[in-house]
Amino acid sequence: MLGELVGESLNVCWQLRTASMPSRPGNLLAWCALKIVLVVAISQPSIGLAQESVRQINIRAERFTFEPSDIEVVEGQRVRLVVEAVDVPHGIGIAGLGVEGVARPGAEPAVLEFLADRPGRYRFVCTVFCGVNHGEMLGELTVVSGAESDDSRTLDDPSDDRAADVLELDFHLVTLPTTLRIPHKRFAFRLTHRFSRPLDAGPGYGNLLEDFFGFDSSAFIGLELRYGVAPGTQITVYRNNNRNIQLSGKYNLLRSNSADGVGLDAYVSIEGMNNFRQDYSPVFGMIVSKRVADRATLYAQPMWIGNTNKLLLHPEPNFRSDSENALLAGLGARFRVRGSTNVIVESAPRVAGFANGQHHVSLAVEKIVGGHVFQVNVSNGLGSSPAQIAGGATGNDWFIGFNLSRKFF
CATH code of residue 100: 2.60.40.420
Q: Is 405 exposed, middle or buried (0-12, 13-18, 19+ CB in 10 A)?
A: buried
Share of the chain above pLDDT 90, in %: 47
Residues 6+ apart with CB under 8 A from 144: 72, 73, 74, 75, 119, 150
Among 162, 179, 201, identify where a domain stops.
162
Question: Which residue numbers in the chain have pLDDT < 50?
Answer: 1-3, 5-6, 9-10, 12, 14, 16-26, 28-34, 36-51, 147-159
Fill in the DSSP letter of residue 87. S
CATH number of the domain bearing residue 360: 2.40.160.40
pLDDT at 77: 87
134, 78, 210: which is closest to 372 by C-alpha? 134
Residue 251 lies in a domain: yes
**Spatial contact of 133 and 338, defined as CB atoms under 8 Å apart:** no
Q: Which helix (H) or strand (E) holds 80?
A: strand 77-85
Question: What pLDDT sits at residue 160?
Answer: 54
Let me know how long the chain is: 409
Could you tell me if residue 306 is inside a domain?
yes
**Within a 10 A sphere around the Cβ of 346, how many other Cβ atoms?**
24
Asked whether residue 205 falls in the same domain as residue 337, the answer is: yes
Check whether residue 148 and residue 262 sit in a common domain. Answer: no
Residues whose CB falls within 8 Å of the CB of residue 368, separated by 6 or more in sequence, listed in order: 132, 133, 134, 135, 164, 169, 340, 374
Statement to judge: residues 63 and 136 lie in one domain: yes
The answer to whether residues 297 and 334 touch, using CB atoms and an 8 Å cutoff, is: yes
Please indicate, yes or no, whether residues 129 and 241 belong to a single structural domain of this protein: no
- Domain range for 93 is 54-162
Q: What one-character DSSP code corresponds to residue 4?
A: H
Residues 146 and 257 in one domain: no
124, part of any domain: yes
**Are 149 and 84 within 8 A, CB to CB?**
no
In a domain, 400, yes or no: yes
First to last CA, the chain: 48
* Assigned domain for 383 exists: yes
Whether residues 21 and 59 fall in one domain: no
101 lies in the same domain as 243: no
Residue 182 resides in a domain: no
Q: How high is the pLDDT of residue 16?
A: 46
Determine the pLDDT at residue 183: 87
Q: Is residue 170 part of a domain?
A: no
Based on the fold, state whether residues 280 and 136 are members of the same structural domain: no
Q: Are residues 63 and 90 in the same domain?
A: yes
Residue 333 lies in a domain: yes
What pTM was estimated for this model as a whole?
A: 0.64
The total of structural domains in the chain comes to 3
**Contacting residues for 362 by C-beta, under 8 A, at least 6 apart:** 173, 174, 175, 344, 345, 346, 347, 377, 378, 379, 380
Q: Which of 126, 146, 162 is the last residue of a domain?
A: 162
pLDDT at position 169 is: 85
Say if residue 255 is in the same domain as residue 387: yes
Q: Are residues 31 and 59 in the same domain?
A: no
DSSP string, 293-329: TTTEEEEEEEEEESSGGGS-SSPPTT---S-S-EEEE
Q: Which residues pair with 267 in a beta bridge?
A: 250, 285
352 and 250 belong to one structural domain = yes
Identify the domain boundary among 162, 195, 220.
162
In single-letter form, the type of residue at position 273 comes to M
C-beta neighbour count of 293 within 10 angstroms: 8
